[in-house]
Amino acid sequence: MCSKTKGLTYRDAGVDIDAGNKAVELMKSAVKATYTSGVVGDLGGFGGLFSLADMDLKNSLLVAGTDGVGTKLRLAIMMDKHDTIGQDCVAMSVNDILVQGATPLFFLDYVAVGKLLPEQVATIVAGVANACKESGCALLGGETAEMAGFYEDGDYDVAGFAVGIVDKSRLLTGQSIAPGDVILGLPSSGVHSNGFSLVRRIVLDRMQMKLTDEVPEFGKTLGEELLTPTRLYPQAVLPIIKKRLLKGMVHVTGGGFYDNIPRVLPDGVSAVINADAWPKLPVFTKLQEWGNVDTKEMYRTFNMGIGMIMVVSPDDADAVIANLKGRGEAVYTIGEITEDQGVPVVMKGSEFSA
């Protein structure tokens, strides 16, 4: 006996192939705008192709990194603002490979959604593409997955994967770092993409604030401040890397100063950081005030206004500072390397004097 029940389709199950195709069409021009000379082929292949023919690979290393945006996405979804989150995705991976001295070559993104809205996905990917272009790397490919029944409608996740290249002789490992070296810091743009579980606990749960609330100290709404995208550092740092003036670098992400700086230190040394050496961003002052957060916890969770750290020889410090300032970059001398003081990182300054 034949059933007269209507046959189910993929769309009935929550996956709209036509919407996916429309999203690809909407993002195509933004993606192509990132293409560098190494890109081979066009959109639509099963894998992205990148030629290394013009590079001397005899002593070269590929450096790969991957990361996501984290719970900062919840704020973007709440605000229905999706044009900056792509930069967060790119920055978290590109900045990570940069600290090893790598020049970014290409990037791939992964966007998972509950219900695919072509314009929304295209906006997210346009942010990814713009950040790739600023970082000098191609958006080589990606994946958009409509996962009905797994994510709620309106929810999505974004992750990315960066690949760069570095000559083995220029690989930054931190192993040559020694007492007397100077620690320089480049400012962050804000909270970047770390610590948002604590941020949300403070502003949404404890303070019961709305993301549309104006905060005088920010000069903008709470949501606008918190969604400020993670800063991209390739343009600032690659010219210094190419001059071989750096001993080590640190991308200040989750774990803040206490957990990230030790990753680049050799045995037998400590990093002494003067927290009074750079101007504090109002967002961190207010988060600490609103959440009554201990100072050490702040410096272990957030970047506190310094997103990238560079360790240089005292003989090269002036040249590095002059190079950066000559290109309009702000840079601060935030500390020094000393003999081992029993802990990898020693924080000093008015906040730590009590």
Kindly report, residue by residue over 285-307, the tens digit of the pLDDT.
Answer: 999 999 999 999 999 999 999 99
Are 157 and 190 within one domain? Answer: no
The CA-based angle 19-25-26, given to 5 degrees, is 90
> pLDDT over 90 for what percent of the chain?
81
The gap between the terminal CA atoms of the chain, to the nearest Å, is 83
Are 73 and 113 within one domain? Answer: yes
Quickly count: other Cβ atoms within 10 Å of residue 206's Cβ: 12
Q: Is residue 8 part of a domain?
A: no
Q: Which two tokens stand for residue 126?
A: 């346009």
Q: Is residue 1 part of a domain?
A: no
Rounded-to-integer distance, Cα 82 and Cα 148, Å: 20
Rounded-to-integer distance, Cα 181 and Cα 184, Å: 10
Specify the pTM.
0.93
Q: Where are the extended beta strands (E) located within the chain?
A: 39-40, 49-50, 60-68, 103-113, 138-146, 156-167, 182-187, 214-215, 220-221, 248-251, 269-274, 306-312, 332-339, 345-348
Tens digit of each residue's pLDDT (9 = 90 or more) over 39-79: 898 887 788 898 888 887 788 999 999 999 999 999 999 99
Are 54 and 153 within one domain? Answer: yes
User: Is 185's pLDDT higher than 90?
Assistant: yes
Are 96 and 218 within one domain? Answer: no
Averaged pLDDT, 203-231 = 97
Cβ-contact 273, 202 below 8 angstroms: no
Are 156 and 296 within one domain? Answer: no
How far apart, in Å, are the Cα atoms of 91 and each of 53, 67, 95, 104, 188? 27, 9, 6, 11, 12
User: Is 111's pLDDT higher than 80?
Assistant: yes
Are 161 and 107 within one domain? Answer: yes
Domain that holds residue 328: 182-352
Q: Is residue 94 part of a domain?
A: yes
